[in-house]
Structure 1
Amino acid sequence: MAEITNSNLYHLDTGILPKDACVVIVRTEWNAAIVDKLEDGCKSILIRHRVAYRVVTVPGAFEVPYGIISYWNAHLQSKSRPDAFIALACVVRGGTPHFDYVCKGITDGITRLNLTLPVPSVFGVLTVDTDEQAGERTGGKHGHKGEEAAITALKMIALKASFDKDL
Protein backbone atom coordinates (compact mmCIF):
# COMPACT_ATOMS: atom_id res chain seq x y z
CA MET A 1 0.00 0.00 0.00
CA ALA A 2 1.27 3.47 -0.84
CA GLU A 3 2.21 5.31 2.33
CA ILE A 4 3.75 8.75 2.64
CA THR A 5 6.38 7.24 4.96
CA ASN A 6 7.71 5.30 1.93
CA SER A 7 8.37 8.51 0.02
CA ASN A 8 10.71 11.48 -0.07
CA LEU A 9 7.96 13.65 -1.51
CA TYR A 10 7.86 16.02 1.46
CA HIS A 11 11.60 16.67 1.09
CA LEU A 12 11.23 19.88 -0.89
CA ASP A 13 14.51 21.09 -2.34
CA THR A 14 13.40 22.85 -5.50
CA GLY A 15 16.02 25.56 -5.42
CA ILE A 16 14.72 28.94 -6.42
CA LEU A 17 11.32 28.85 -8.06
CA PRO A 18 10.51 31.48 -10.69
CA LYS A 19 9.61 34.62 -8.71
CA ASP A 20 6.30 34.99 -10.52
CA ALA A 21 5.38 31.30 -10.44
CA CYS A 22 1.66 30.61 -10.68
CA VAL A 23 -0.36 27.43 -10.27
CA VAL A 24 -3.95 26.97 -11.39
CA ILE A 25 -6.02 24.58 -9.31
CA VAL A 26 -8.91 23.06 -11.27
CA ARG A 27 -11.34 21.49 -8.82
CA THR A 28 -14.76 19.90 -8.87
CA GLU A 29 -18.04 20.83 -7.23
CA TRP A 30 -18.84 17.13 -6.82
CA ASN A 31 -17.86 15.67 -3.41
CA ALA A 32 -17.22 19.26 -2.33
CA ALA A 33 -16.46 18.55 1.34
CA ILE A 34 -13.58 16.26 0.38
CA VAL A 35 -12.34 18.44 -2.49
CA ASP A 36 -12.45 21.50 -0.19
CA LYS A 37 -9.94 19.71 2.07
CA LEU A 38 -7.73 18.86 -0.92
CA GLU A 39 -7.86 22.50 -2.02
CA ASP A 40 -7.02 23.76 1.48
CA GLY A 41 -3.97 21.47 1.56
CA CYS A 42 -2.83 22.74 -1.85
CA LYS A 43 -3.26 26.36 -0.86
CA SER A 44 -1.33 25.91 2.40
CA ILE A 45 1.74 24.62 0.55
CA LEU A 46 1.55 27.24 -2.21
CA ILE A 47 1.16 30.07 0.32
CA ARG A 48 4.06 28.73 2.40
CA HIS A 49 6.28 28.85 -0.71
CA ARG A 50 4.91 32.21 -1.88
CA VAL A 51 3.51 30.82 -5.12
CA ALA A 52 0.50 32.59 -6.62
CA TYR A 53 -2.52 30.50 -7.43
CA ARG A 54 -5.95 30.71 -9.00
CA VAL A 55 -8.85 28.34 -8.54
CA VAL A 56 -11.18 27.25 -11.34
CA THR A 57 -14.25 25.19 -10.47
CA VAL A 58 -15.89 22.69 -12.81
CA PRO A 59 -18.98 20.57 -12.13
CA GLY A 60 -17.41 17.10 -11.97
CA ALA A 61 -14.24 15.07 -12.38
CA PHE A 62 -14.87 14.31 -16.04
CA GLU A 63 -14.80 18.06 -16.80
CA VAL A 64 -11.41 18.76 -15.15
CA PRO A 65 -9.28 18.17 -18.28
CA TYR A 66 -11.56 20.49 -20.26
CA GLY A 67 -11.21 23.14 -17.55
CA ILE A 68 -7.42 22.89 -17.75
CA ILE A 69 -7.12 23.09 -21.55
CA SER A 70 -9.70 25.88 -21.73
CA TYR A 71 -7.82 27.93 -19.13
CA TRP A 72 -4.54 27.35 -20.98
CA ASN A 73 -6.00 28.35 -24.34
CA ALA A 74 -7.67 31.45 -22.88
CA HIS A 75 -4.31 32.62 -21.47
CA LEU A 76 -2.00 31.71 -24.36
CA GLN A 77 -1.10 35.31 -25.15
CA SER A 78 -1.21 36.47 -21.53
CA LYS A 79 1.64 37.03 -19.12
CA SER A 80 -0.48 35.21 -16.54
CA ARG A 81 -0.02 31.76 -18.06
CA PRO A 82 0.34 29.19 -15.28
CA ASP A 83 3.51 27.25 -14.60
CA ALA A 84 1.48 24.20 -13.57
CA PHE A 85 -2.05 22.93 -13.12
CA ILE A 86 -3.35 20.83 -10.25
CA ALA A 87 -6.42 18.67 -10.88
CA LEU A 88 -8.46 18.09 -7.73
CA ALA A 89 -11.40 15.72 -7.57
CA CYS A 90 -12.76 12.84 -5.56
CA VAL A 91 -14.56 9.93 -7.18
CA VAL A 92 -16.23 7.56 -4.71
CA ARG A 93 -17.16 4.09 -5.95
CA GLY A 94 -20.87 3.45 -6.17
CA GLY A 95 -22.94 0.51 -7.24
CA THR A 96 -22.60 1.05 -11.01
CA PRO A 97 -19.75 1.09 -13.55
CA HIS A 98 -19.97 4.91 -13.64
CA PHE A 99 -16.98 5.05 -11.24
CA ASP A 100 -14.79 3.20 -13.75
CA TYR A 101 -15.76 5.47 -16.65
CA VAL A 102 -15.19 8.68 -14.71
CA CYS A 103 -11.84 7.49 -13.32
CA LYS A 104 -10.65 6.43 -16.76
CA GLY A 105 -11.83 9.67 -18.33
CA ILE A 106 -10.06 11.99 -15.91
CA THR A 107 -6.92 9.82 -15.84
CA ASP A 108 -6.68 9.67 -19.63
CA GLY A 109 -7.43 13.40 -19.88
CA ILE A 110 -4.73 14.44 -17.40
CA THR A 111 -2.25 12.07 -19.06
CA ARG A 112 -2.98 13.60 -22.46
CA LEU A 113 -2.53 17.12 -21.04
CA ASN A 114 0.85 16.15 -19.58
CA LEU A 115 1.95 15.00 -23.01
CA THR A 116 0.66 18.02 -24.94
CA LEU A 117 0.87 21.12 -22.74
CA PRO A 118 4.25 22.70 -22.06
CA VAL A 119 3.46 22.80 -18.32
CA PRO A 120 2.63 19.93 -15.96
CA SER A 121 -0.87 18.89 -14.92
CA VAL A 122 -0.64 17.26 -11.51
CA PHE A 123 -3.05 14.43 -10.65
CA GLY A 124 -4.60 15.30 -7.28
CA VAL A 125 -7.57 13.01 -7.79
CA LEU A 126 -8.81 10.63 -5.14
CA THR A 127 -10.41 7.43 -6.45
CA VAL A 128 -11.74 5.71 -3.34
CA ASP A 129 -14.27 3.13 -2.29
CA THR A 130 -15.60 5.04 0.73
CA ASP A 131 -15.74 8.48 2.34
CA GLU A 132 -13.60 7.02 5.14
CA GLN A 133 -10.82 6.29 2.65
CA ALA A 134 -11.09 9.86 1.38
CA GLY A 135 -10.66 11.12 4.95
CA GLU A 136 -7.56 8.98 5.36
CA ARG A 137 -6.10 10.82 2.34
CA THR A 138 -7.03 14.36 3.39
CA GLY A 139 -4.99 14.54 6.57
CA GLY A 140 -5.42 11.01 7.90
CA LYS A 141 -3.13 8.01 8.05
CA HIS A 142 -2.34 8.17 4.32
CA GLY A 143 -1.16 11.79 4.42
CA HIS A 144 -2.72 14.75 2.67
CA LYS A 145 -3.05 14.31 -1.07
CA GLY A 146 -3.83 18.02 -1.57
CA GLU A 147 -0.52 18.99 0.03
CA GLU A 148 1.24 16.29 -1.97
CA ALA A 149 -0.23 17.60 -5.22
CA ALA A 150 1.04 21.12 -4.48
CA ILE A 151 4.49 19.83 -3.58
CA THR A 152 4.55 17.83 -6.80
CA ALA A 153 3.58 20.95 -8.77
CA LEU A 154 6.43 22.93 -7.18
CA LYS A 155 8.91 20.17 -7.94
CA MET A 156 7.74 19.97 -11.55
CA ILE A 157 7.99 23.76 -11.96
CA ALA A 158 11.55 23.58 -10.65
CA LEU A 159 12.35 20.65 -12.93
CA LYS A 160 11.09 22.53 -15.98
CA ALA A 161 13.02 25.64 -14.93
CA SER A 162 16.20 23.55 -14.68
CA PHE A 163 15.67 22.32 -18.25
CA ASP A 164 15.06 25.87 -19.46
CA LYS A 165 18.37 26.97 -17.89
CA ASP A 166 20.21 24.31 -19.87
CA LEU A 167 19.04 25.78 -23.19
Structure 2
Amino acid sequence: MSSADKNLSVFSTDGLPDISQATFAIVVAEWNHEITEKLFEGAHATLIRYGAKPENIIRANVPGSYELSFGAQVFARKIEVDAVIALGCVIQGETKHNDYINHAVAHGLTQVSLTYHKPVIFGVLTPNSQEQALDRAGGKHGNKGDEAAMTAIKMLSLV
Protein backbone atom coordinates (compact mmCIF):
# COMPACT_ATOMS: atom_id res chain seq x y z
CA MET A 1 0.00 0.00 0.00
CA SER A 2 1.41 3.38 -0.93
CA SER A 3 1.52 6.18 1.60
CA ALA A 4 -1.00 8.01 -0.56
CA ASP A 5 -3.50 5.41 0.67
CA LYS A 6 -2.31 5.12 4.28
CA ASN A 7 -1.69 7.44 7.20
CA LEU A 8 1.91 6.87 8.31
CA SER A 9 0.99 7.78 11.89
CA VAL A 10 -1.62 5.04 12.31
CA PHE A 11 -0.36 1.59 13.27
CA SER A 12 -1.14 -1.40 15.43
CA THR A 13 0.27 -1.25 18.95
CA ASP A 14 -0.57 -4.82 19.93
CA GLY A 15 2.17 -6.68 21.78
CA LEU A 16 4.71 -3.88 21.96
CA PRO A 17 7.82 -4.62 24.03
CA ASP A 18 8.78 -2.62 27.12
CA ILE A 19 11.21 0.03 25.84
CA SER A 20 11.76 1.85 29.13
CA GLN A 21 15.36 0.59 29.32
CA ALA A 22 16.10 0.70 25.57
CA THR A 23 18.44 3.22 24.01
CA PHE A 24 17.66 4.63 20.59
CA ALA A 25 19.89 6.63 18.26
CA ILE A 26 18.17 8.87 15.75
CA VAL A 27 20.41 9.97 12.89
CA VAL A 28 18.98 12.95 11.01
CA ALA A 29 20.03 14.29 7.61
CA GLU A 30 20.40 18.08 7.56
CA TRP A 31 19.56 18.31 3.84
CA ASN A 32 15.87 19.23 3.47
CA HIS A 33 15.99 20.38 7.11
CA GLU A 34 12.39 21.64 7.09
CA ILE A 35 11.25 18.08 6.40
CA THR A 36 13.79 16.08 8.41
CA GLU A 37 13.21 18.14 11.55
CA LYS A 38 9.52 17.25 11.41
CA LEU A 39 10.45 13.59 10.93
CA PHE A 40 12.68 13.80 14.01
CA GLU A 41 9.94 15.44 16.07
CA GLY A 42 7.53 12.65 15.11
CA ALA A 43 10.02 9.87 15.86
CA HIS A 44 11.06 11.38 19.19
CA ALA A 45 7.46 11.95 20.31
CA THR A 46 6.46 8.40 19.35
CA LEU A 47 9.35 6.86 21.28
CA ILE A 48 8.43 8.89 24.37
CA ARG A 49 4.72 8.10 23.98
CA TYR A 50 5.43 4.36 24.04
CA GLY A 51 7.82 4.35 26.98
CA ALA A 52 11.32 5.45 25.98
CA LYS A 53 13.09 7.73 28.43
CA PRO A 54 14.25 11.06 26.97
CA GLU A 55 17.77 10.48 28.29
CA ASN A 56 17.89 7.21 26.32
CA ILE A 57 17.32 8.90 22.97
CA ILE A 58 20.48 10.09 21.24
CA ARG A 59 20.34 12.45 18.28
CA ALA A 60 23.06 12.95 15.70
CA ASN A 61 22.97 15.04 12.54
CA VAL A 62 24.70 14.20 9.28
CA PRO A 63 24.96 16.49 6.23
CA GLY A 64 22.64 14.54 3.93
CA SER A 65 20.83 11.27 3.40
CA TYR A 66 23.84 9.68 1.74
CA GLU A 67 25.72 10.00 5.04
CA LEU A 68 22.99 8.24 7.04
CA SER A 69 24.60 4.81 6.59
CA PHE A 70 27.87 5.86 8.19
CA GLY A 71 26.04 7.75 10.94
CA ALA A 72 23.94 4.67 11.64
CA GLN A 73 27.05 2.51 11.76
CA VAL A 74 28.68 4.77 14.36
CA PHE A 75 25.76 4.12 16.71
CA ALA A 76 24.94 0.53 15.78
CA ARG A 77 28.43 -0.55 16.84
CA LYS A 78 27.87 0.87 20.34
CA ILE A 79 26.73 -1.91 22.63
CA GLU A 80 24.46 0.42 24.63
CA VAL A 81 22.40 1.38 21.55
CA ASP A 82 19.52 -1.01 20.95
CA ALA A 83 18.12 0.44 17.71
CA VAL A 84 18.99 3.14 15.19
CA ILE A 85 16.50 5.25 13.26
CA ALA A 86 17.79 6.98 10.12
CA LEU A 87 15.74 9.96 8.95
CA GLY A 88 16.17 11.79 5.66
CA CYS A 89 14.44 13.16 2.61
CA VAL A 90 15.57 12.88 -1.02
CA ILE A 91 13.22 14.72 -3.37
CA GLN A 92 13.08 13.76 -7.05
CA GLY A 93 14.80 16.40 -9.13
CA GLU A 94 15.66 16.87 -12.77
CA THR A 95 18.45 14.27 -12.58
CA LYS A 96 18.53 10.68 -11.34
CA HIS A 97 20.58 11.57 -8.25
CA ASN A 98 17.70 10.46 -6.03
CA ASP A 99 17.76 6.94 -7.48
CA TYR A 100 21.44 6.53 -6.72
CA ILE A 101 21.23 8.08 -3.27
CA ASN A 102 18.12 6.18 -2.19
CA HIS A 103 19.52 2.85 -3.39
CA ALA A 104 22.86 3.47 -1.66
CA VAL A 105 21.19 4.48 1.61
CA ALA A 106 18.79 1.54 1.62
CA HIS A 107 21.63 -0.87 0.91
CA GLY A 108 23.94 0.78 3.44
CA LEU A 109 21.41 0.77 6.26
CA THR A 110 20.55 -2.87 5.56
CA GLN A 111 24.24 -3.79 5.75
CA VAL A 112 24.67 -1.94 9.05
CA SER A 113 21.67 -3.73 10.52
CA LEU A 114 22.88 -7.14 9.43
CA THR A 115 26.48 -6.50 10.49
CA TYR A 116 25.60 -5.34 14.00
CA HIS A 117 22.48 -7.49 14.49
CA LYS A 118 20.38 -4.50 15.48
CA PRO A 119 17.34 -2.81 14.03
CA VAL A 120 18.42 0.03 11.74
CA ILE A 121 15.31 1.69 10.40
CA PHE A 122 14.97 3.33 6.96
CA GLY A 123 13.02 6.49 7.71
CA VAL A 124 13.89 8.25 4.47
CA LEU A 125 11.23 9.96 2.41
CA THR A 126 11.58 9.52 -1.36
CA PRO A 127 8.89 11.88 -2.70
CA ASN A 128 8.51 13.44 -6.11
CA SER A 129 7.97 16.95 -4.74
CA GLN A 130 8.30 19.20 -1.71
CA GLU A 131 4.51 19.04 -1.31
CA GLN A 132 4.57 15.23 -1.12
CA ALA A 133 7.39 15.43 1.44
CA LEU A 134 5.40 17.82 3.64
CA ASP A 135 2.35 15.55 3.34
CA ARG A 136 4.48 12.71 4.81
CA ALA A 137 6.24 14.79 7.47
CA GLY A 138 3.23 15.56 9.62
CA GLY A 139 0.83 16.53 6.85
CA LYS A 140 -2.21 14.79 5.43
CA HIS A 141 -0.46 11.40 5.21
CA GLY A 142 0.87 11.46 8.77
CA ASN A 143 4.54 11.40 9.72
CA LYS A 144 7.14 8.93 8.46
CA GLY A 145 9.07 9.69 11.67
CA ASP A 146 6.22 8.19 13.71
CA GLU A 147 6.25 5.11 11.52
CA ALA A 148 10.04 4.73 11.74
CA ALA A 149 9.97 4.93 15.54
CA MET A 150 7.18 2.38 15.79
CA THR A 151 9.10 0.09 13.45
CA ALA A 152 12.15 0.34 15.72
CA ILE A 153 10.02 -0.48 18.76
CA LYS A 154 8.43 -3.49 17.07
CA MET A 155 11.76 -4.78 15.79
CA LEU A 156 13.14 -4.80 19.35
CA SER A 157 10.63 -7.53 20.17
CA LEU A 158 12.65 -9.81 17.84
CA VAL A 159 15.90 -9.26 19.70
**After TM superposition, is the score higher than 0.5?**
yes
8 Å CA contact retained: 2:28, 2:88: yes
Letter paired with 1:53: I
AA aligned opposite 1:11: S
> Which amino acid in the other structure matches residue 129 of structure 2?
T
Q: How many residues align?
A: 154
**Residue in structure 1 matched with residue 87 of structure 2 by the alignment:** 88
- Give the conservation status (yes or no) of the 8 Å contact 1:14–1:154: no
- CA shift in 2, pair 1:30/1:87, >3 Å: same
CA contact (8 A) 1:17 1:157 kept: no
Q: Which residue of 1 aligns with 2:124?
A: 125
The change in CA–CA distance for 1:112 and 1:47 in structure 2 (over 3 A counts) is same
Alignment CA distance shift 1:96-1:112 (3 Å): same
| SS of residue paired to 2:157 | helix
1:4 — aligned with what? 6
Quick one: which amino acid aligns to residue 64 of structure 1? L
Aligned residue identity for 2:144: K
How far residue 15 of structure 1 moved from its aligned partner, in angstroms, is 4.1
Q: Give the deviation of 1:18 after TM superposition.
A: 4.5
Could you state the TM-score of these two structures normalised by the residue count of structure 1?
A: 0.84
Q: Give the equivalent residue in structure 1 for 2:112.
A: 113
- Alignment-derived partner of residue 145 in structure 2: 146
Aligned counterpart, 2:22? 21
Q: Secondary structure of the residue that 1:87 maps to in structure 2? A: strand
* Aligned position for 2:61: 57
1:43 Cα deviation from its structure 2 partner = 0.7
Q: How does 1:60-71 map to 2 (within 5 A)?
A: 60-71=64-75
Identity fraction in percent = 40
| 1:137 aligned residue | 136
For the pair shown, the structure with the greater C-alpha radius of gyration is 1
**Any idea what SS the aligned residue of 2:74 has?**
helix
Distance 1:71 1:95, change over 3 A: same
CA contact (8 A) 1:91 1:127 kept: yes
Question: Taking structure 2 as the reference length, what is the TM-score of the superposition?
Answer: 0.88
